[in-house]
Amino acid sequence: MANIKSNENKTKAQSMGLHSEVLTGKTQQKFFNPDEAENFYYWGTYDVDFNKRIDLDVNDLDCKEANKKIDELMSQGYGTIVIKNPQGKHSLGVGVLNKLNLIFEGSLGYFGVGSIDGPTVRINGRVGWSCAENMMAGKVVIEKNAGSCFGAAVRGGDLICKGSVGARTGIDQKGGTIIVGGDAGAFTGFMMQRGRIIILGNVGINLGDSMYDGTIYVGGKIGSFGSDAIESPMTKSDIDWIKRKLKVAEIGENFDVSKMTKVVAGKKLWNYDALEPTEKKGAI
Partner 1 sequence: MCGIAGLIHRGKSSNVGNELQAMLQALKHRGPDSTGYALYADNDGENFIMRFKVGENVGEGSSSINEDESVYDKRKELVDEMLKNLGAKVLKEEKLTPYSYRYEMKYDDDLMDFSKKIESIESVEILSIGKSLELIKDLGDAKVVLDRYDLGKVTGTHAIGHARMATESGVDIKSAHPFWGYPFSDVSVVHNGQLTNYWNNRRVLENKGMRFMSECDSELIAVYLAEKMRNGATLEEGMKDSLSGLDGVFTYFVATKDSLGMAKDTMAAKPLVLYESDDLVAMGSEEIAIRSILPHEIDTYDPFDGEVKVWQI
The residues that touch partner 1, with contacts defined as CB under 8 A, are 87-90, 106-107, 109-110, 125-126, 128-129, 144-148, 163-168, 183, 185-187, 204-205
Q: Which is nearer to partner 1, 99 or 164 (CB)?
A: 164
- Taking the complex as a whole, the smallest distance from the CB of residue 148 to partner 1 amounts, in Å, to 6
Question: What residue type is 61 in one-letter code?
Answer: L
φ, ψ of residue 218 in degrees (nearest 5): -125, 130
Residue 161 near residue 145 (C-beta atoms within 8 A): yes
Looking at beta carbons only, is 117 or 148 nearer to partner 1? 148
Q: Residue 22 and residue 229: Cα distance in Å, rounded?
A: 32
SS3 category, 123: strand
**Distance in Å, CB of 106 to partner 1, minimum:** 6
Cα 78 to Cα 71: distance, rounded to the nearest angstrom: 10
Task: For residues 250 and 258, give the distance between their C-alpha atoms in angstroms, rounded to a whole number.
Answer: 18
Closest approach, Cβ 73 to partner 1, in A, equals: 23
Minimum Å gap between C-beta 262 and partner 1 is 23
Nearer CB in complex with partner 1: 175/185: 185
Q: Which is nearer to partner 1, 169 or 177 (CB)?
A: 169
Shortest distance in whole angstroms from residue 23 CB to partner 1: 41
Helix (H, G, I), strand (E, B) or coil at 18: coil
- d(CA 143, CA 50) in angstroms, rounded, equals 22
